[in-house]
Amino acid sequence: MRAVTVIPGVPGSLRLLDDYPEPASEEGPILVEAVSVGVCGTDIEIIEGQYGEAPPGADHLVLGHESLGRVLEDSTGTLQPGDLVAGIVRHPDPLPCPNCAVDEWDMCRNGMFTEHGIKALPGFARQRWRLQPRFAVGLAPALAEVGMLLEPTSVVAKAWDHIDRIGRRTEWQPRHALITGAGPIGLLAALLASQRGLSVHVLDLATEGPKPALAGALGATYHSGPLHQLDLEPDVIIECTGAPAVVLEAMCKVGPTGIVCLAGVSSGGRIIDFDAGALNRTLVLENNVVFGSVNANRRHWDFAAEALSKADPDWLGSLITRRVPLSEYAVAYSPGPQDIKVVLDFTA
Ligand SMILES: [Zn+2]
């Protein structure tokens, strides 16, 4: 069968193989036919050879961690043939660490977890894959065109879950949420904020393209100026740019007892002249919290599936700015400046 693969660590090794083996029965009793996979920055880093690990004994890593498929067979009866399904990306480490031992693999302490399409497990950019029921998340039939957004939504569902848990340290009645960065993660974080009834603000550099209208359609206020000039005291900031200057401004901008969730990954290596003492003073005197968040566990995937089922399918569809047929796979991994989410289509 066909599969999109790289040789990890070898730049330029992206290939569409047509003789990749069928998924082994040990992968799980649920056999799935691929519908589509979403492309994200992690895929690009793997293609550039900066990241990624093949399964033990293999040279190739199948790409794809933002999955959507249709069940072909499930001997356990958990899902029915024809059901839409996505596969959970991360699997717990085998030791396991205290968090993986209670299925909180998103909080793995020893780094020995594995991830489909990223770290030691084949990804979902292949025509058929298999899942264990505990890693299979069913999706409402209405999400047939957009269900590959479940993975990025699970990431922001986890961010909101942890914001809630931290908020419970006190009487927590957040009103204003600011999302920095209007890429797929930022816009999905804004979607979840709007579903919670918060007043939502989205900040991004873009003044053209689809981002302002997508934020507006959620009822959010869109800003493109500097963060420190916003006339706003957010209770929650979800930082999705990873841009060092924006990260620092977010930590300074959040209101008293506020929570800043850092969800964007910086590349590092950029030095900024910054008054760390003033930041410390603000964090202490205002009881503010800054925390990092990555990945998601089963509970978050289920939250995310519920959030997507309540969202406007047309709005979700507008996040997908290009659908590339599998035969033209390489084009999918070269996002353009106006792209939000590019999807590789296995049905075309
Ligand atoms: Zn672990």
pLDDT digits (tens, 9 = 90+) for 153-180: 999 999 999 999 999 999 999 999 999 9
How many angstroms is it from 119 CA to the middle of ligand 1?
Answer: 14
Return the structure tokens found at 163: 């914001």
How many angstroms is it from 6 CA to the middle of ligand 1?
Answer: 26
Q: What single string gives the DSSP state of each residue in 244-304?
A: HHHHHHHHHHS-TT-EEEE-SPP---------HHHHHHHHHHTT-EEEE-----HHHHHHH
Which pLDDT score is estimated for 261? 98
Which pLDDT score is estimated for 260? 98
Q: Which residues are placed with Cβ below 5 angstroms of ligand 1, an ion?
A: 93, 97, 100, 108
CA atoms within 13 A on the CB side of 328: 11
CB 24 within 8 A of CB 129: no
Q: Which residues of the chain have pLDDT under 70?
A: none
In the chain, at which residue ranges do the beta strands (DSSP E only) sit?
3-6, 15-17, 30-39, 61-62, 66-74, 84-87, 90-91, 114-116, 120-121, 128-131, 136-139, 176-180, 199-203, 221-223, 236-239, 259-262, 289-292, 320-325, 341-345
**The whole model's pTM is what?**
0.97
How many angstroms is it from 42 CA to the middle of ligand 1?
Answer: 21
Return the structure tokens found at 115: 């991830």
Which pLDDT score is estimated for 182? 98
68 three-class SS: strand
How many angstroms is it from 342 CA to the middle of ligand 1?
Answer: 31
Return the structure tokens found at 117: 């399409």
Which pLDDT score is estimated for 301? 98
Closest C-alpha among 315, 341, 146, 309 to residue 214: 315
User: Between helices 184-195 and 298-310, what is the axis angle to 10°?
Assistant: 70
How many angstroms is it from 120 CA to the middle of ligand 1?
Answer: 15
How many angstroms is it from 95 CA to the middle of ligand 1?
Answer: 7
Which pLDDT score is estimated for 337? 87
Which pLDDT score is estimated for 269? 85
